[in-house]
Amino acid sequence: MFSLTELNIYQSTFSSSPTWIGAAKQFMLKNYQHFLTLQFAVDQINKDPHLLPNITLGYQLLNNLNSNKVAVENSLTYLSGRSLTIPNYSCGRQHKSVAVIGGMSSALSMSMATILGLYKVPQITYGPFDPVLVDKVQYPYVYQMSSKESTLHLAVVQLMLYFGWTWVGLLFSDNPRGQQFFRDLEEAMVMHSMCLAFKEKVPENFNQEDREDHKIFPKVIASSSKVIFIYGNTYGLLKFSIFMTQYILYGKILVTTISWDISAQRNSKIMSHLHGTIIFSQANREIPGFKDFLRSINSTVNSEDIFLKTFWEVVFHCRISEESPVKMVYSLCPEGLSLADVPTHELNTDIMTLSSNIYNEVYLLAHAIHQMLQMEIKETLELGVHPLLSWKLHYYLKCVNPVPGANDEVCGDESRIMAETYNVLNLQFFPGPKETLVKVGEISPFNKGLVINEEDIAWPDDFSETPISICSVSCGPGFKKIIRESEPICCFDCTLCSDREISNQTDAQQCLQCPEDQYPSKERDRCLPKTITYLAYEEPLGMALASAALCFSLLTALVLGVFVKHRDTPIVKANNRSLSYTLLISLTLCFLCSLLFIGLPTQATCLLRQISFAVVFTVAIASILAKTLTVVLAFAATKPGSGLRKWLGSTTSYFLICICTLIQMCLCGIWLGTHAPFLERDIHSEASLIVIQCNEGSLFFFYSVLGYMGFLALVSFMMAFLARKLPDTFNEAKYLTFAMLVFCSVWISFLPTYQSTKGKAMVAVEIFSIVVSSAGILTCIFAPKCYVILLRSDRNTLEILKNKVSF
């Protein structure tokens, strides 16, 4: 029971000669191969001396016209005879039929099963596998030859992963088969981080007048997905596909299966819109001898075949005889034509899926009958007479290769209904109109094998290259995905990795943190090794600070030399030359101690530099304090009866310097004994650098040492400020005031600057403060004196000194 033509092809259902209506031409062009395959298989079996020996296998052909109603009526005709159909009564059944092959769709198979199942007639369907027909309670005598599509969803996911399609729309038939496929596909897509942009059920009886059905296409058009997968059979989606012509799917590519045979409709408008469609088909098999069989068929030899006559006139555009109903259109057919001359786009000589099923079913029946007859050899059994013949055939139909003694564990439907390989076809439509299915690849879901020849694919006209169907652009290296709230995982935003993190792959879920000795590149896509750095003599900053420190230390030594050389002059004597010597020596050491801060730090330099700086600077400030105190006491001692003259000696000054220095040394000793400075690698201050530096150990003691020096400087400043207007030519109180003002200004500015800098810049700030404050003291105190000594020696006389109040 085949569906060779549609119901509207005939003027009457059972007319002996068909009247051709051109609108249904393509339906027969696609389905006539089913009948040819049946003929070929029967001929092959009858020629085989080992299969059904001494028995001729035949067939009775009924055309269902792709109508459920006609399928039911043909089932009654088969059971009752070709005259009046009478249930439970067989009239004129001369053919010895034992089984029925039929059911191009699930609906047709179910319609036939309602009648044939009552009489336990074996029914083998050749249409797509449907899980509903597996129900042996409702359909106990229906057998499916098609491979089970349980791996189709895996093949679909493999193809979409190959092209990078992660944002896909799905249209599927609203039936158990379609719903099962949707569940399987959704589960597989979730496992591979793919998403459904939308999912719409297409009703079995699609009605374009229904508002709910009418809403499907606007949703498809509005979707951002470029790939639409359609799952269903040709006839279930027939009205739906016709309605598609009212909407132009710009920028969309369709992916479907051979079950929705879109080429079965001879509508050039539909076909042009479907150009570039990707189609999944179960792997075809090319049967040896089939092409030779086609060459042997011609209209003269098979003159009684009414279907051949119709097909012949359609494909060759001619009429076979003068009585042909198409004589007003075509001329008589030339002699010598055969089906081998039919163009491939009109009749595919390769065995397609449904035809392959028919071929296998014929051989399955032949083997089952052969096996059954061998088991019943001792019985006198006449085919077509014994009422249990069809019933006994059921057991043998369950086995692919029946063998004597096979049991139910070996023979079962599940052993032959698993598709392992799918062909990937590409529908290419050309003006004419003509279309062809081009094989562009092959997928094996079990073996995870995939071969795609992209150069053979013709994409829809809207795409100049392979389509891209994603919800969000992939996050490149250096970024991570942030899933949008309440949206599928395929829809996300890309966020740049943080300062210390990278991502070295596309669509990274999380950024990776670089090791401590590495830092992220500018693109945040890889970790680079950090450069070890410190304030070196070779770099410009280190060279400048070192040069300044050396220059000022030499200048201070020159000033000391000048003072020593002119030690007997009044100005040197009047300014307490022993304290001046002490101050100049300590200033020289202050400049030189700054060199301990430059170069590669070691544990020794970390311990020495802060301690030496604190002690030397304390000596310098204590010397200034002693000079200031000497000035103040000198003028106070000039008053009659003053007892302060005994404190004007050098002993008092040195005692003061020793006391002040001793206190600082105690602080430093406690600092070294508790939380001494140490060498460390600073990996956080600068992103791309590892700074080798000295850690102060205890900030409390560090600032205590600086605070103590600040206290001494403040006392010196206050005393010098009070004595700044004492009337003496050689009075240096005002110079001491300026010196302490510079010193305090520098170190007050040092504190916030030191706190806000990191790495070697922090070291440079401290060196700069040491050099500038020392240079300020040197300039403010000794520059005026050197000026008088070297350039105004006329003022460096005892006579001028006597006219003023001396120290």
Tokens of 293: 């069989």
> Do both 349 and 247 map to the same domain?
no
For residue 518, the cross-strand partners are 529
Assigned domain for 539 exists:
no
> Do both 562 and 487 map to the same domain?
no
**Cα 317 to the center of its chain, rounded Å:** 55
Please give the tally of structural domains in the chain: 4
Q: Which has more confidence, 337 or 198?
A: 198
> Do both 220 and 272 map to the same domain?
yes
Task: Judge whether residue 11 has pLDDT over 70.
Answer: no
> Do both 51 and 188 map to the same domain?
no
> Shortest CA distance to 582 belongs to which of 641, 645, 630, 531?
630
Q: Are 609 and 597 in contact (CB under 8 A)?
A: yes
pLDDT of 653-683, one tens digit each?
A: 788 889 999 998 999 999 988 888 888 888 8
Assigned domain for 318 exists:
no
Assigned domain for 461 exists:
no
Question: What is the structure's pLDDT at 373?
Answer: 82
DSSP conformation class of 239 = H
> Do both 449 and 484 map to the same domain?
no
pLDDT of 554-602, one tens digit each?
A: 999 999 998 888 888 877 777 777 888 888 999 999 999 989 989 898 8
Instruction: Give the mean model confidence (pLDDT) for residues 455-478.
Output: 90
Task: Judge whether residue 403 has pLDDT over 50.
Answer: no
Task: Judge whether residue 754 has pLDDT over 80.
Answer: yes
Please state which of the ranges 70-84, 318-332, 423-437 shows the lowest mean pLDDT.
318-332
Instruction: Give the mean model confidence (pLDDT) for residues 52-72.
Output: 87
Mean pLDDT score of the chain, rounded to an integer?
80
Please state which of the ranges 67-76, 229-238, 357-366, 466-475 shows the lowest mean pLDDT.
229-238
Task: Judge whether residue 184 has pLDDT over 60.
Answer: yes
Could you give the CA distance from residue 572 to residue 807 in angstroms, rounded to a whole number? 12
DSSP conformation class of 226 = S
pLDDT of 206-255, one tens digit each?
A: 776 666 666 788 888 888 899 999 998 776 676 777 677 677 778 889 99
Instruction: Give the mean model confidence (pLDDT) for residues 1-30.
Output: 54
> Do both 603 and 731 map to the same domain?
yes
Question: What is the structure's pLDDT at 404?
Answer: 37
Look up the CATH number of the domain holding residue 772.
1.20.1070.10
Radius of gyration over alpha carbons of the chain, in Å? Answer: 53
CA dist 470 → 161, 165, 197 (Å): 11, 6, 9
Q: Report helix, strand and coil shares of the chain as percent, to nearest 5.
A: 45, 15, 40
Question: What is the structure's pLDDT at 233?
Answer: 75
Assigned domain for 719 exists:
yes
pLDDT of 361-390, one tens digit each?
A: 899 889 888 888 887 654 544 444 444 567
Task: Judge whether residue 351 has pLDDT over 50.
Answer: yes
Question: What is the structure's pLDDT at 399?
Answer: 60
pTM of the predicted protein model: 0.64
Look up the CATH number of the domain holding residue 366.
3.40.50.2300
Task: Judge whether residue 60 has pLDDT over 90.
Answer: no
SS3 437: strand
> Do both 352 and 448 map to the same domain?
no
Could you give the CA distance from residue 407 to residue 401 in angstroms, rounded to a whole number? 12
Assigned domain for 305 exists:
no
Question: What is the structure's pLDDT at 91?
Answer: 63
Tokens of 240: 């739906």
Assigned domain for 327 exists:
no
Q: Report the percent of the chain where pLDDT is more than 70.
A: 78
CA dist 218 → 221, 224, 236, 244, 422 (Å): 5, 12, 21, 11, 32
Task: Judge whether residue 648 has pLDDT over 80.
Answer: no
Q: Which has more confidence, 746 or 415?
A: 746
Question: What is the structure's pLDDT at 432?
Answer: 61
The secondary structure of 591-657 as a DSSP string is: HHHGGGGSSS--HHHHHHHHHHHHHHHHHHHHHHHHHHHHHHHHHHHTSTT-SGGGG-SHHHHHHHH
**Most confident of the following: 268-277, 490-499, 751-760:** 490-499
Residue 145 sits at the vertex; the CA angle it makes with 144 and 147, to the nearest 5 degrees, is 105
> Do both 404 and 428 map to the same domain?
no
Domain end position, chosen among 390, 416, 442? 416
Could you give the CA distance from residue 455 to residue 441 in angstroms, rounded to a whole number? 11
Task: Judge whether residue 201 has pLDDT over 90.
Answer: no
> Do both 293 and 411 map to the same domain?
yes
> Do both 682 and 775 map to the same domain?
yes
> Do both 61 and 183 map to the same domain?
no
Question: What is the structure's pLDDT at 529?
Answer: 92
Assigned domain for 198 exists:
yes
pLDDT of 306-342, one tens digit each?
A: 778 878 877 787 877 766 655 556 777 877 777 777 7
Q: Are 576 and 650 in contact (CB under 8 A)?
A: yes
Assigned domain for 114 exists:
yes
Question: What is the structure's pLDDT at 553?
Answer: 93
Instruction: Give the mean model confidence (pLDDT) for residues 448-465.
Output: 89
Residue ranges making up the domain that contains 182: 152-283+420-456
Question: What is the structure's pLDDT at 101?
Answer: 93
Question: What is the structure's pLDDT at 735?
Answer: 79
Question: What is the structure's pLDDT at 807?
Answer: 35
Tokens of 86: 């009478």
The secondary structure of 47-89 as a DSSP string is: H-SSSSTT--------B-TT-HHHHHHHHHHHHH-SSS--TT-
> Do both 238 and 250 map to the same domain?
yes
